[in-house]
Every structure is written in C-alpha cells, then in structure tokens.
C-alpha cells in the first residue's frame, strides 16, 4: 500500500487538555480578583463543547469583565505549569505506532502560540517517533492549517473542532472528528457529520477506504 499521509490536530484530538483549560481559568480569575460561579471551572470545557466560545460561556455565566478574564486566560493557557496538566487520550500512542508500522505517515498541525513548547511537549508525551513533522499555526494569524499543510498531500484530517473541519475542506480531503475533545457528539450530528469515539477506528477507516481506492 502507498503511504497514507494523515493530518492530526493536537489539543482535544491526541491530547486531553480539559484540566489545563479549567486550571488556567481559575488562575486567571485569581489574578483579576474575579469570583467564578460554583462549578464553572469543572464544567468549563463541557459548556464550550456545544460550539460556544469561552467568552460566550463566561458572559452567559454572568461574569463581570468577561472580556478581561478571557484575555488573561489566553495569556497564560500555554504556560509551562499548565501544559504539565495535559495527557494523551487513552490508546493514542499504541494506535499511532500500529498504523505507522503499516505505512501511515502522521503530521500534527496545531494552533498554538509557542512552537518550542509544542515540540517539547510532543517529545515528553512520547509522540516524537511516530510524528513525521509538526506545524504550528499562530492563533489569529493569517496562516491557516490548510496553508501550512497544503504541500503534504494529506488524504485525511483527524480533529475535534470546526477549525479542523475547515482545514479538511481547504484541502478537499476526508474529515474524521473525534467526539472526546472540544466539541461534543451532538455538535457534529446537528451538522450532519459523523463523529467518532475512537482513534483506532478512525485510522482503520482511513486505511480501509484508501486500500480500496488503490485496488480500483
């Protein structure tokens, strides 16, 4: 089988960042002396999983100066102390290794502020040997995930948000959203997109489809 090049998002796709997002919100609130409603920190990511932005969640929670709070959160969310809270979703390493041995080539394309911290984290999480290359797109910048990866000849994109969906559409390749990240199952079903619960099943599906195409 010809090597299959697959684009992978990082946060919410390979890495569980829920704890980081909640803890950074708590720290941002402390720094601004802002009192948060009971339960907001624990449920922050879940409240955003229907497609709302963090700012909309904070405003809906009745928080004064929500704009200042979300700006402070954005400043510190990638601090080393919070990145240490990240962990790989269960089974990620094994599935990537298994499918890499079968000829899949993986590229991470992520939206982060600190490229060096991303590369260091990937090594610390044990992904360095199964990822061909990592591309970091600056949040809010002019570059998109599609532009960053248009030369890679990807056959599919695996992600967890509408940003990744748009990435796949830029490249006109298949999109496989996992529902364990920053958008829930209902979000995808409402948009007529099949959500997936398991990375291994996604990679098997990509492999099966392209094996069939190569036999045609």
pTM of the model: 0.93
Average pLDDT, the chain: 94
User: In this predicted model, what pLDDT tens digit does every residue of 76-103 receive, in sequence order?
Assistant: 999 999 999 999 999 999 999 999 999 9
Return d(Cα 120, Cα 70) in angstroms, integer.
26
Q: What is the pLDDT of residue 216?
A: 44
CA–CA separation, 106 vs 96, rounded Å? 8
- For the segment 162-188, the average pLDDT, to the nearest whole number, is 97
Which residue from 142, 119, 143, 139 is spatially nearest to 131, judged by alpha carbons?
A: 119
For residue 206, the 8-state DSSP code is H
Binning pLDDT at 50, 70 and 90, where does residue 214 land? Answer: low
pLDDT in tens, 114-164: 999 999 999 999 999 999 999 999 988 778 999 999 999 999 999 999 999
Phi, psi of 170 (to 5 degrees): -60, -35
Q: Which three-class secondary structure state does DSSP give residue 49?
A: coil
Instruction: Give tens-digit pLDDT for 14-38.
Output: 999 999 999 999 999 999 999 999 9
DSSP 94-123: HHHHHHHHTTEEEEEEEE-S-HHHHHHHHH
In the chain, % of residues over pLDDT 70: 97
Task: Give the residue carrying structure tokens 């996604």.
Answer: 202
Tokens coding 61: 């929670």
């Amino acid at each position: 089988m010809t090597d299959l090049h697959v684009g992978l998002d990082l946060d919410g796709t390979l890495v569980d960042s829920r704890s980081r997002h909640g803890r950074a919100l708590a720290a941002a609130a402390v720094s601004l002396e802002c009192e948060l409603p009971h339960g907001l920190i624990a449920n922050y990511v879940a409240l955003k999983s229907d497609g709302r932005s963090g700012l909309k969640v904070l405003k809906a929670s009745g928080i004064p100066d929500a704009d200042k709070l979300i700006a402070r959160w954005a400043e510190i969310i990638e601090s080393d102390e919070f990145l240490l809270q990240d962990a790989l979703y269960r089974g990620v390493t094994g599935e990537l290794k298994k499918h890499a041995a079968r000829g899949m080539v993986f590229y991470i394309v992520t939206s982060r502020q600190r490229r060096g911290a991303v590369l260091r984290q990937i090594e610390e999480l044990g992904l360095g040997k199964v990822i061909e290359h990592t591309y970091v797109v600056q949040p809010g910048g002019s570059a998109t995930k599609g532009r960053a990866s248009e030369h890679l000849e990807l056959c599919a994109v695996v992600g967890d948000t509408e940003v990744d969906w748009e990435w796949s559409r830029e490249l006109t390749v298949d999109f496989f959203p996992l529902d364990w990240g920053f958008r829930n199952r209902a979000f995808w079903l409402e948009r007529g997109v099949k959500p997936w619960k398991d990375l291994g099943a996604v990679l098997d599906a990509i492999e099966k489809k392209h094996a069939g195409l190569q036999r045609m």
